[in-house]
Amino acid sequence: MAFTLRYMGKRAYKYVTKTMKIPLPSLRKLHRWASKLDFQSGTLHCIVKVMKAVCHTFDEPEKIAIITFDEVKVKEVHEYDQKHDCVMGPHLQMQVAMIRELFDKWRVPIYLDFDKQMASDLLNSLIRDAHDSGYVVKGCCSDMGGGNQGLLRVLGISPEITWIEHPVLSDEKIHFFGYAPHCLKLVRNWLLDTGFLLPDGSVVRKDPLEKLLNHVEVSSCFLTHLTTRSVVHLSLC
């Protein structure tokens, strides 16, 4: 409870302790407790242990989960890790993998590393960790960036085969899903950059959008969802 309240903000924590007079650990003590957690890059074993410890409190449907992973851009700076006495960085990207419950709202990070692509052996290792902790992974979700597309090819994922065998449970499958908003963004980019080749040989390009914009600019026609050229040329995206 104390960590959750502190996560919401310092003002909320001080209000509860000083105004409401509810005894909670001091902020300094929270910092000392947090410093004992091992958050080195790689699999977050401390989180996995907590997941295993609380697994018995969930009903069976609440143990069904998916693994999501994505790259997050980080600030390119050097950072000193006081606990491990080492200098980290600079890095460009941080790979983050999270496990999230399929029928509820909880989610926790179980892996992070810098400037590293998701690989098949790493993904299978995370699925095994989740299984050993009492959770059943049913699927994986990621964006469709170049690195993740390469991973799908290695795993044999295609429009016809969208799953792999569970690395532990031979009768279970792990289904793969593209992150829908990113897929829509890629469709937009492909339409604007190259267009789409249809089965009959015709090509769908952005030309009709350009003509529509020209018409809007010289007439009184007003389209709330398409009013500026920045929408077509992505100058604001």
Each residue's pLDDT tens digit, 50-78: 899 999 999 999 999 999 999 999 999 99
Asked if 167 contacts 129 with a C-beta cutoff of 8 angstroms, the reply is no
Per-residue pLDDT for 227 more than 70?
A: no
82 versus 173: the higher-pLDDT residue is 173
Same-domain status, 186 and 137: yes
In a domain, 23, yes or no: yes
Query: Bridge partners of 196?
Result: 204
Please tell me the distance from the alpha carbon of residue 173 to that of residue 164, in angstroms, as a whole number: 6
In a domain, 200, yes or no: no
Q: Which helix (H) or strand (E) holds 130?
A: helix 120-132
Label residue 176 exposed, middle or buried (CB < 10 Å: 0-12, 13-18, 19+). Answer: buried
Number of compact structural domains in the chain? 3
Same-domain status, 18 and 91: no
In a domain, 199, yes or no: no
Band (pLDDT 50/70/90 cuts) for residue 237 is very low
Band (pLDDT 50/70/90 cuts) for residue 159 is very high
Same-domain status, 125 and 12: no
DSSP state of 16: I
Same-domain status, 1 and 54: no
In a domain, 201, yes or no: no
Same-domain status, 113 and 227: no
In a domain, 233, yes or no: yes
Nearest alpha carbon to residue 125 among 64, 167, 184: 167
Q: Is the preceding peptide bond at 25 cis, omega within 30 degrees of 0?
A: no
Please tell me the distance from the alpha carbon of residue 68 to that of residue 140, in angstroms, as a whole number: 6
* DSSP string for residues in 163-217: EEE-SS-TT-EEEEEE-HHHHHHHHHHHHHHT-EE-TTS-EE-SHHHHHHHHHHH
Band (pLDDT 50/70/90 cuts) for residue 236 is very low
In a domain, 60, yes or no: yes
Same-domain status, 73 and 172: yes
- The CA-CA-CA angle for residues 84, 88, 91, to 5°, reads 150
Q: How many alpha carbons fall within 13 Å on the CB side of residue 65?
A: 30
Same-domain status, 42 and 126: yes
pLDDT at 116: 94
Band (pLDDT 50/70/90 cuts) for residue 221 is low
pLDDT at 7: 79
Per-residue pLDDT for 228 more than 70?
A: no
Same-domain status, 131 and 213: no
A 10 A CB-CB count for 65 gives 25
pLDDT at 235: 55
Q: Give backbone dihedrals phi and psi of 30, rounded to 5 degrees, phi first.
A: -60, -40
Same-domain status, 17 and 42: no
In a domain, 166, yes or no: yes
Q: Minimum mean pLDDT among 132-146, 156-170, 176-190: which range? A: 176-190
Same-domain status, 115 and 161: yes
Q: Give backbone dihedrals phi and psi of 170, rounded to 5 degrees, phi first.
A: -65, -25
**Residue 231 sits in which domain range?**
206-237
Mean pLDDT rounded to a whole number for the chain: 89
Same-domain status, 21 and 68: no
Asked if 142 contacts 96 with a C-beta cutoff of 8 angstroms, the reply is no
Same-domain status, 167 and 231: no
In a domain, 78, yes or no: yes
